[in-house]
Structure 1
Amino acid sequence: MTTTSQPSTTTVTATVPPARNEPTQIKSDVDEKVANLSAKRDASWPSVLFYIHLNILGLYGIMVLFTNAYFTTVIFTVFLSFIGIIGVTCGAHRLWAHQTYEANTFLRLFLMLCQTMAGQGSIYDWVQYHRLHHRTFKTSDDPYYSEKDFLHAQVFAHIRNLSPKQEYLLKQVDMKDLEADKIVMFQKKFYWILYLIFFVLLPINAPLEYWDDSIQAALFVTFSLRYLIVLNISWLITSAHFIWGLDKKHKPSDSNMIFLVTKSYWPQYHYLLPFDYQTGEFGNYGSGCTTALIRVFAALGLAENLKTMTSDACKVGLSRSVDTGCPLVDCLTDAGKESMERLPRNHYLNKDKYF
């Protein structure tokens, strides 16, 4: 009787290596490394002392403003404060952080000097922190405490060091576009020299040299009070959502700022679609001073490719998300890019027609 032997598959299966997903393995290793890093943030005592002294000197500057300062110094202080604020809003925020429009060399140089007049560190560092803020918004990894409250975002975030975990995440932020910008990198390399000249020496010297004002006015109004105003207004970029936002946990009445500002819900839209140049940091969508300035820059030929989101694009993006099940933000972003291709180059001059 002949018996038929069955072919053995043991040796075959033993020689086939198990499949391995390399990207998944690498990602899990990175996730594990991040998870093991400490999330504790310690106080930055130099920043704490600086912030305390700046508030004391700035508040004293208010008294000097009304008792011992020329009207020319007051106007000069307001002008410099405005310059610093637009350097952050038009420049660091909308141009470099989110690339909502393109600027020629002259405008980029001007905005770089304006941002230096804000005294908030280099454009490179500001943008790196802000991009991490958007990436980690409403989580404990956000350097600006977007998951806590207004006081944490407006004050505590700026007087504490980053945690080891945040330091690691900060290094992962893609900054190649700014590294290719010669003006940004020039400012980064020589920031403290530019800061000393344009932010400290020239503003203090002007009242003394050109209209013979007092040293008190120059130091405490033109410098300290201006610094305090510009810092706090600029910091609202990352904390304003507590005042104007949609989160029911943070009622506008929780902050006395509600008596100084007009309520709007556009900051929430900005975190959804940050590429829109019209997003109002401190007011209504499309009608703020920063938005108007960007339109003026474009009309003068200094800026171009102003990115925005039309009403029709919003409708298309919402419909796609419902029909296909794709993420809402992805659908809105794609619809927005498609609509931009159909808009005329001077759409910013005809906003009522397209928005």
Structure 2
Amino acid sequence: MLPAQSIAQTAATMTEAEALEKQQQQQQQQQHQHQKSGSGGVDDAFDHTYKEKEGPKPPVVIVWKNVVLMTLLHLGALYGVFLLPSASPLTLLWSLLCFVMSALGVTAGAHRLWSHRSYKASLPLRIFLGVANSMAFQNDIFEWARDHRVHHKYSETDADPHNAVRGFFFSHIGWLLVRKHPDVIEKGRKLELNDLRADKVVMFQRKYYKPSVLLMCFFVPMFVPWYLWGETLWVAYYVPALLRYTLVLNATWLVNSAAHMWGNRPYDKTINPRENKFVTFSAIGEGFHNYHHTFPYDYATSEFGCKLNLTTCFIDFMCFLGLAKDRKKVSHELVLSRIQRTGDGSHRSG
């Protein structure tokens, strides 16, 4: 060990930015230790030690069933757009409600709660988010969170499920139309996911995922307007069910594609994720992506609170009701330090 005097000299010469950065690294190390001990932390920090394998890339294997299903889905959604003038105002309002609910199942649920453990949710709230997530139909919570942790840990590499380096189409939808890269599968298997396995809501949804999707993503959105105010089954299926589902899918996919390509990088110019206002709006708060990849454990995914961030407003309201607690937030000092050290100079205070 160094003598006490030497330690004091080292501390005296350390800049404030370096000290804050060291504090962040220590926080991430503590999260890793919590993950290993099963106390609720997650392994979502970028792994700088990962190196892509040399040699030719493995062949791309197209999953034609997925290609056909996604094509039919988007054709059905396009038809739903033409049916919008035929839908009653109540049906349009119901479609919007279903959009927000299913989006929250992804943003407040699978993403901020289960992928990053950035806040704690009570059992009633976890049940609601699990149901809302089934309405979104984007793989079950366990698989979604696992893949998202791999995405953060190996972002923009072969081990990233939707590696944006492979282009807009691949990172948006193409990654769902082909077999996963072997490194994605390998790294996903090595992640410790005990926190997800210990969550009864997550495992219940995983066990009954297919019937829950049929019920929440398609039947309920269609049945309610048909039964309660006499909407035609045709419109009820194509607008609040099919069109709404497709819009939520693409809003989520834009986080993987557009928010990794277009926008400013005020927090870390060395990474691809960007601040993209269009994605922020369409994905109810998920477009502050440069901030999120810099500080993945921040529950708000932004330094600006509820501004353009419906998901953060929802989590704050759940805390007000006593249904959520322990929101993790990065200190203002640490954010400013990171902006000065690695930002691209585009930062604004609000």
Change (3 A) 1:37 1:118: farther
Query: How many Å separate the matches in 2 of 1:97 and 1:209?
Result: 36
1:273 aligns with 2:292: no
Corresponding residue for 1:170?
A: 188
Superposition map of 1:1-355 within 5 A = 39-66=58-85, 68-239=86-257, 240-246=259-265, 266-280=288-302, 286-287=306-307, 288-314=309-335
Change (3 A) 1:238 1:60: same
Change (3 A) 1:300 1:37: farther
Query: How many Å separate the matches in 2 of 1:79 and 1:43?
Result: 35
Is 1:120–1:231's contact at 8 Å kept on the other side of the alignment?
yes
- Percent same amino acid among aligned pairs? 28
Larger radius of gyration: 1
The superposition leaves residues 246-285 of structure 1 with CA deviations (integer Å, 9 ceiling, x where unpaired) of: 3799899xx9x69x879998311211210001114xx966
TM-score, L = length of structure 2: 0.73
User: What RMSD in Å do the two structures reach over aligned CA positions?
Assistant: 3.6
The one-letter amino acid paired with 1:125 is: E
Q: CA deviation at 1:168?
A: 1.7
Secondary structure at the counterpart of residue 244 of structure 1: coil
Q: CA deviation at 1:155?
A: 1.8
Q: CA deviation at 1:197?
A: 1.4
Corresponding residue for 1:338?
A: none
Is 1:117–1:195's contact at 8 Å kept on the other side of the alignment?
yes
Query: How many Å separate the matches in 2 of 1:245 and 1:141?
Result: 25
TM-score, L = length of structure 1: 0.72
Instruction: Name stretches of at least 5 consecutive residues in structure 1 with no aligned partner.
Output: 1-30, 323-327, 329-351
Change (3 A) 1:36 1:109: farther
Change (3 A) 1:127 1:189: same
Instruction: Name stretches of at least 5 consecutive residues in structure 2 with no aligned partner.
Output: 1-49, 343-348
Query: How many Å separate the matches in 2 of 1:274 and 1:41?
Result: 30
Is 2:295–2:301's contact at 8 Å kept on the other side of the alignment?
no
Is 1:205–1:218's contact at 8 Å kept on the other side of the alignment?
yes
The one-letter amino acid paired with 2:228 is: Y
Is 1:87–1:118's contact at 8 Å kept on the other side of the alignment?
yes
The one-letter amino acid paired with 2:300 is: Q
